Each structure stands twice: as C-alpha cells, then as structure tokens.
Amino acid sequence: MTRSSKMRSAWLSVGLSIGVLCGALPAHAADKPDAKAAKIGLYIHMINAWVNQVGEHESSFFQVVDKKTGITCKEPNIRMLQVAPIARPGEDLTVKDLPKFRAALKKAPKLDTDAAAAQMIDAVALIFAVDNNYFYDSKYLGDDCKRGKEIHAMLLETWPKFFHAEHEIRAAVEKYTAEQDLVKLAEAEKKYGKGSFHWYERKLLLDAKALIKSVEEAAREPLGDPAPLHAAAAALQKTHDELKPLFQKFAAGADAGDTSAWSYMMSYASELARDAESRAKRMDAEVKKKSINPYAKGEIEKLIKSYNDLVGAANRLTFSKSMK
C-alpha cells in the first residue's frame, strides 16, 4: 500500500471531524458524534495531520542520503537536509502538540487499535524532536557525523513503525466509516424516504467515496484493473442523473432559497463521474498496451480534487423545510 501519495490522506479528509477523513459522511451541525465516533475522529485527525508530511519527509531525506550507503555527512547539500518535518500553519506537527493526542487516546471507549495509535504518536514524537539545525549549522563536523548516524538509524527504525501503525488505524477507520455510511443512508431512507433529498445527499457521497476507493485500489498496482472503476463511475453518474431533475424542479421554486452548495455538489459529482470513466477507459488502453500513460498521475490527482470539492460543497448544504 503506497504511503506517501496524496491519495491516501485525500479521501480520509471526508469524515467525522475534519471534512476529509473525519467521519463516514460530512457531519452537519446537528450531528453530535458519540464516544466511539470521537475516537475514530482522533484517528482521522492523526492521519490527516501527519501521514503526508512524514511520507514527504522520508522521500526528501533519501534525495540527499543514499539508501544503500547510508549517511556519511559528506553528501552534497548535506546542510540542507531536513531530518524532521517542518510544521505548517494550523497543523499539529510539533512535539508540544502531542500531549493532547495522548490524553484523547486514553478516553473511553478502549479500541483494539489504540495500541497502534499510541505507536504512531510515539513515532511522531521521535521524528519531530530531531534537531534540524544539526546539519544546517554544520554540527556534524564537531562529532565526525556521530549524531547524524544516530539520527539516520532512528529514522530507519521509526518510519516503518509509523506507517505500520497508520496502516492498521486506517483499516479500522475505513471499516467504521463504511458501516456508518450504510447506517446513515438507512436512517435517511427511514426518516425522509428513498429518493428524498436527504437520501440522495448520502447516496451521492457514498457512491463518490466508493469511486475514490476504486481509484486508490487501482493505483496500488502498476497496471490496475479498470473494471471496478468503470462500475463505480457508472454508479455515481446514475445517482447524479436521478437527483438532477428533482433538484432542478426544487431550485425553480419560489421558496428554494440559496441552492448554490447543491449546484456545486452536483457539478463536482458529474465531473468526478465523467473524469473517472475517462480514466477507466485510459486504463483499458494501458492494460492492453502494458504501458502506463505519462498523464496518469495528473488524472488521479484531478479525481481526488473533484472528490474533495464535492465533499466541501456537501459540508455547506442546507435543507429548507420543503426540501424533503
């Protein structure tokens, strides 16, 4: 399973607390997560805050340090080597931020994956505590690279622990959110009826998430199977096409109010389905030719952006009294 791709954290941003990986579906203001949902939200926060940064950090480290040789402190640009990720505004990426995660992890309920979450926090604590000035200030000259080699050895041991724990946590999150997706769809059907706006909102997002999951699974192999992506794109397009006339009729009414968020959600859903089908067709050609086209990465990133835009629009949806 790829670690550092944007895709892994991208669809995670769809959930319970953050908007991409915090819950099964975008949480509306009236939703109040229970204790287990809050714990899953903590897992999601950890993944969203740390995974891409740590993955990028590992990749950039080996752009300076040779994997086979190991660090010698004689590498070109050694002074520019960043041995700890750099915190970005608004992200929990420093050691001082970690106590709040440890405290939240101790809260009930106790889950089987809490041990993996604790391992992930411990790994982050080690990675983020490294002195980035060791190389920049040429301190390695004073100890003949002794500390540099210690840092390298620690990172080689800690990176796998971090990603192993993240893999276990991610699996638990995916299982939980998949279950919640179906529960919330059933709740919408029971309360408002199948084919209602509330039902279609959840169905559209469920189909979109399934599509992105298909994209992720296909990308794990050099030449992935395009069949699931064809099916997922068709399912999303079908739901969009069923909702479209219902929405258009409502939007034309006098009491429709501001429907811009709905319009954006519909537009992004259509774009996602269309581009996913195009990607699947290109995958057909790639499998036939046994060669990946050079634009595949950009195509996948565009799908992820459309999905995140769709979720963002869904998080801004409002329901009028007449919108059943």
CATH number of 314's domain: 1.20.120
State the Cα angle at 220 between 219 and 226, rounded to 5°.
50
Residue 67 is encoded by which pair of tokens?
């994997």
Which of 136, 170, 192 is at the close of a domain?
Answer: 192
Closest CA to 309 of 120, 44, 26, 104: 26
If asked whether residues 1 and 23 sit together in one domain, one would say: yes
- Tally Cβ neighbours within 10 Å of residue 203: 23
Residue 66 is encoded by which pair of tokens?
């040779």
In this structure, which amino acid lies at residue 237? Q
Q: For residue 296, what pLDDT is reported?
A: 86
If asked whether residues 210 and 324 sit together in one domain, one would say: yes
> Helices 114-128 and 146-192 meet at what angle, rounded to 10?
140
If asked whether residues 307 and 216 sit together in one domain, one would say: yes
DSSP 225: -
If asked whether residues 283 and 297 sit together in one domain, one would say: yes
Residue 63 is encoded by which pair of tokens?
């752009």
Which of 166, 192, 218 is at the close of a domain?
Answer: 192
Contact 13, 21 (CB under 8 A): yes
Residue with the two structure tokens 């259509």: 270
Contact 126, 57 (CB under 8 A): no
If asked whether residues 56 and 185 sit together in one domain, one would say: yes
Q: Which domain holds residue 214?
A: 193-324
Q: For residue 97, what pLDDT is reported?
A: 81
If asked whether residues 176 and 198 sit together in one domain, one would say: no
If asked whether residues 247 and 297 sit together in one domain, one would say: yes
Which of 133, 162, 192 is at the close of a domain?
Answer: 192
Gap between the Cα atoms of 237 and 217, Å rounded:
20
CA distances from 165 to 31, 80, 176 (A): 29, 29, 17
DSSP letter string, 21-53: SSSSSPPPTT----HHHHHHHHHHHHHHHHHHH
State the Cα angle at 305 between 257 and 54, rounded to 5°.
130
Phi, psi for residue 145 in degrees, rounded to 5: 70, 15
Q: How many domains does the chain have?
A: 2
If asked whether residues 210 and 270 sit together in one domain, one would say: yes
If asked whether residues 136 and 205 sit together in one domain, one would say: no
pTM exceeds 0.85: no
DSSP letter string, 237-253: HHHHHHHHHHHHHHHTS
If asked whether residues 37 and 72 sit together in one domain, one would say: yes
If asked whether residues 209 and 161 sit together in one domain, one would say: no
Q: For residue 105, what pLDDT is reported?
A: 96
Contact 197, 323 (CB under 8 A): yes
Q: Which residues contact 225 (CB under 8 A, 6 or more apart)?
A: 218, 287
Tens of pLDDT along the chain (324 residues) come to 334 443 343 334 333 222 334 333 344 434 556 899 999 999 998 998 888 889 988 999 999 999 999 999 999 999 988 767 666 666 666 677 899 999 999 999 999 999 999 999 999 999 988 887 899 999 999 999 999 999 999 999 999 999 999 999 999 999 999 899 999 999 999 999 999 999 999 999 999 999 999 998 887 777 888 999 999 999 999 999 999 999 999 999 888 888 999 999 999 999 999 999 999 999 999 999 988 778 888 899 999 999 999 999 999 998 887 776
If asked whether residues 250 and 154 sit together in one domain, one would say: no
